[in-house]
Amino acid sequence: MADVTRKDLVHALNSAADLLDVLGSDAGGFRATAYRSAARSLDRHEASLDELRESRFAGVPKVGRGIAAELMDYLDTGRFAPLDEAAEGVPEGVQGLFAVRGLGPKKVRTLWDAGIDSVTRLRDAAQSGELAAIKGFGAKGAQTLGQAAQFVLDAQDRFLLPQALQAGEAVQQALAGAGLEATFSGELGRLRDTLGGAELVLSGDPDAWAGALAGAAGWEVREQGADTLSGRFGGVPLTLRRGEAGVGFLPFDEPEHAGLDLPDPAALIQVQDIQGMLHTHSVWSDGTATLREMVAGVRDLGHAYLGTGDHSQAAAYAGGLTPARLREYIAEIRGLQAEGLPILAGAEVDILADGSLDYPDELLAELDYVVASVHSGFGLSAADQTARLVRAASHPLVSILGHPTGRLLLRREGYALDIDAVLEACAASGTAAEINANPWRLDLRWQDALRWRGRVRFSINTDAHSVAGLRDIRYGVMMARKAGLTPADVVNCLDMAAFKAWARPEVSGR
C-alpha cells in the first residue's frame, strides 16, 4: 500500500487532465473534464481517505466506476496510470512549463508548437522578443512570463528551510554518535527561508567525519578534501568544513541588523511562549482533522488553546463556508467550549478585490476573531492591491492580516504592493500582521517585521491543515527571532481570555 494523500489524488487527476489537453488526444475533452470534476468533488468530500478507500470511492459525486478503479490502483501502487500514460506523450521540458505561473494547457500547447519546450527556452524567448511575436502573448504577457520563468529557474536548486534543517540535524545526530560536535554555518546557520544546501562546521579529521556518516541512511558522499567533506542527505547538498564548532545560530547576523538596537537574544520569543495556535484549518473546509482533534494536537504540543480559521465562502475551491455553514461551525465551537475545551471561533475570511470582506459585519461579529487574507486577484496593480489590503487591515472587526504578501517560496512571488503602507494601516488600526509559519510562506518576511517591530504587533500562525502542521510553529518563531521579536510583540503569546479581549475592539478598546 503506497503512502498517498488526498492532495496527491487531486493533483494526479488535475495533472492528467492538463496533459490530455496539451496532447489534444482527448476528443471533445470529455476525459479531461471528467478528471477535473472528480478532482473538485474529491477535494471537497467530507469522508476521510481511509473511508474513501474502504468504500472504493462509492458515493463521491463525479467519481464514476472507471475513475474510482484508477484511484484505487493509485492508492495501492503509488502510480496514477492515466497520468503516466499521458506523460509519455509530452516531453519532460514541456511538462515543466506548468510550473510557470500564468501558463495553462492551451498556452503550453501553443508554446510547444512554437518550439518553446522548456522553462529555459521560455525565458530566452521572452528576452529575445520571440515570445511577444506569438499570437496570444504580446509584449506585456511575454515580459510577465519571462519573469515567472526566471523565478522557476532560480528556484530549481533551492530548498525550503525544513528540508535543509532536517538534513543538517540528521548529519549532526550521526556525527554526535561518533563524539563529533557540528554547528550549522552559512545559510543554514542564518536560518534563511530558502537555501542552496546545508553547511556545517566541525573540528577533527574529514576521515573521521566520513567514517561517522558511512552508515547513515540517506547520506551520499560526493567529494572529500583535506578540510572538507561534501555530499547529499535526502537530496539536500551538504558541506562539512573544518573549523571551530559551538557558535550556533546567531539571530542578528544579517546585514539588515547592522546599527539597530536589538534585544538580548535571551529575551527573544521561543516556541514555548506561544499560548494560542491561531489560524488553523479543519475538516470544515480543507483541513484533514476535526476541531476536537486539532484541540488535542495543540494541547499535546504544550500550547494552551486553539484558534480556528476555516475558509470563507469565496474560497469555494477549499470548501469555504457559506454563511449558513459558518453558523453551524460556530455552533460546534460553542458546544466544545461548553465542554471545557480551550477553543476560539475564528475564520480566515477572504479579502475581496475592493478590500471588502467575504462576510457581512453582523456575521463577522459572531466570531471571536477574524483573520483576513488574499487568495485571489493577484494580478492587481500595486496601487490597487495596496489599497485593497489597507482597507481590510483597517476594518474594525479584522484581528489579524493573514500572509500579507501572498508569496509561496519556490513557487510564486508575492503580489505587487507597498507593504509599508499596509503595515502602517495595521499600526493605525491595531491589527496584527501575521508571520505565517508554513515553510512555503514564512510571510510576513522577517525583514519587514524587523522594520516595523515596536509599531505593529504580530501573530505567529501555523496555517495548519492537519495536526502535524501545528509543528510548523518552530519556523515562524525562527523568523520572529530574526526580526528581534519578544513575547510582548506577539498577540498569541497572550492567554486565551486576554487574546479574546484584545481581538474584539469593543472589549479591549484597541
- Which of 155, 181, 205 is the last residue before a domain boundary? 155
- For 131-188, write each residue's pLDDT tens digit: 999 999 999 999 999 999 999 999 999 999 999 999 999 999 999 999 999 999 999 9
**Per-residue pLDDT at 29:** 83
Task: Quote the strand ranges of 342-457, DSSP E.
Answer: 343-344, 346-350, 369-373, 400-401, 432-436
Distance CA 286, CA 211 (A): 46
Task: Note whether 123 and 165 are same-domain residues.
Answer: no
- For 20-53, write each residue's pLDDT tens digit: 999 987 777 899 999 999 998 998 787 888 899 9
User: Whose CA is closest to 107, among 152, 153, 151, 138?
Assistant: 138
Q: Which residue has the cell 528551510?
A: 161
- Which of 107, 129, 155 is the last residue before a domain boundary? 155
Task: Note whether 137 and 173 are same-domain residues.
Answer: no
**Per-residue pLDDT at 1:** 60
Angle, helix 473-482 to helix 161-176, in steps of 10 degrees: 100
Does 208 have pLDDT greater than 90? yes
Does 106 have pLDDT greater than 60? yes
Does 463 have pLDDT greater than 60? yes
User: Whose CA is closest to 115, among 92, 131, 102?
Assistant: 131
- Name the residue range of residue 37's domain: 6-155
- Inside any domain, residue 256: no
| CATH number of the structural domain spanning residue 310 | 3.20.20.140
Task: Note whether 282 and 182 are same-domain residues.
Answer: no
Percent of the chain with pLDDT over 70: 98
Does 67 have pLDDT greater than 90? yes
Task: Note whether 89 and 195 are same-domain residues.
Answer: no
Task: Note whether 238 and 304 are same-domain residues.
Answer: no
| CATH number of the structural domain spanning residue 184 | 3.30.460.10
Distance CA 52, CA 45 (A): 9
Banded pLDDT at 509 (limits 50, 70, 90): very low
DSSP state of 493: G
Instruction: Please state the domain count of the chain.
Output: 3
Task: Note whether 146 and 172 are same-domain residues.
Answer: no
- Inside any domain, residue 250: no
Identify the H or E element spanning 195.
strand 194-195
Q: What's the whole-model pTM score? A: 0.87
- For 276-320, write each residue's pLDDT tens digit: 999 999 999 988 899 999 999 999 999 999 999 999 999 987 889
- Which of 155, 175, 200 is the last residue before a domain boundary? 155
Task: Note whether 23 and 171 are same-domain residues.
Answer: no
Task: Note whether 183 and 140 are same-domain residues.
Answer: no
User: Whose CA is closest to 444, among 89, 505, 214, 431?
Assistant: 431
Banded pLDDT at 425 (limits 50, 70, 90): very high
- Inside any domain, residue 247: no
Distance CA 446, CA 254 (A): 11
**Per-residue pLDDT at 318:** 84
Task: Note whether 167 and 126 are same-domain residues.
Answer: no
Task: Note whether 323 and 455 are same-domain residues.
Answer: yes
β-strand 228-233 against 236-242: which pairing, if any?
Answer: antiparallel
Task: Note whether 50 and 99 are same-domain residues.
Answer: yes
**What is the average pLDDT across 259-272?**
96
Distance CA 503, CA 308 (A): 14
Distance CA 4, CA 19 (A): 21
How many CA atoms lie less than 13 Å away from 305 in the CB half-sphere?
22
Q: Which residue has the cell 455553514?
A: 325
270 to 190, 460, 490: CA distances (angstroms) = 17, 11, 11
Does 510 have pLDDT greater than 60? no
By residue count, the chain amounts to 510
**Per-residue pLDDT at 25:** 77
- Inside any domain, residue 411: yes
**Per-residue pLDDT at 505:** 62
Is residue 139 a contact partner of residue 132, using CB atoms and an 8 Å limit? yes
Is residue 145 a contact partner of residue 132, using CB atoms and an 8 Å limit? no
Task: Note whether 56 and 195 are same-domain residues.
Answer: no
Does 508 have pLDDT greater than 60? no
